[in-house]
Amino acid sequence: MPVRIVYESHATTTDNEAGIATGWLPGRLSPTGRRQAAELGDRRRGTGLDAVYTSDLARAVETARIAFAGAATPVHRQDARLRECDYGELNGAPTAVLHPLRTRHIDRPWPGGGQSYRDVAEATAAFLRDLAAEWDGGRILLIAHSANRWSLDCLLAGARLESVVADPPPWQPGTFYTLP
């Protein structure tokens, strides 16, 4: 049986509002982000979720904590394979500096010990293999980051990594995937 996946991005952070590319830094939700996290919970509670997985970065964990506060929460697990791309020495850099460089790092890691976007896709693929083995026929919510959504678009929807990195899809409240 396929696994049905609902992907949601973590809610807006103070870094997002300041034009900062957080990368592997923890990040903190802004007041707007806390409201968005509560709205995410309103959208997803009672929809038959079997499990909620998040990145282990603080902004994703905080989003899930707010979204499911006081609810009979399904299994909630943090997984480092759902982290945003590690921008190396550019973690915390202005997005105006980082975004024009993204296509240079599809296969080449970011300087200073960072990852490539292909590295993120490989980590996401490893996560999906484990998810399929554990949740056959399940309905799973993932709360993660933009690089994970791009990876899911490639791994489960046939997009090319080069295309989604160069021209990212617009934000939307929930993207649905099927993991065969």
Which residues are annotated as catalytic?
10, 84
Helix/strand/coil for 176:
strand
Instruction: Please list the residues that pair with 8 across neighbouring strands.
Output: 143
Strand ranges, E, within 11-160: 20-21, 51-55, 75-79, 93-94, 139-144
What span, in angstroms and rounded, lies between the C-alpha atoms of 96 and 16?
Answer: 12
User: Cα dihedral angle (76, 60, 117, 154), rounded to 10 degrees?
Assistant: 60
Task: Evaluate whether 155 touches 180 at the Cβ level (below 8 Å).
Answer: no
Nearest-CA neighbor of 82 among 137, 125, 37?
Answer: 125
Q: In this structure, is the dihedral angle defined by the CA atoms of residues 85, 87, 91 and 93, taken in order, positive or negative?
A: negative
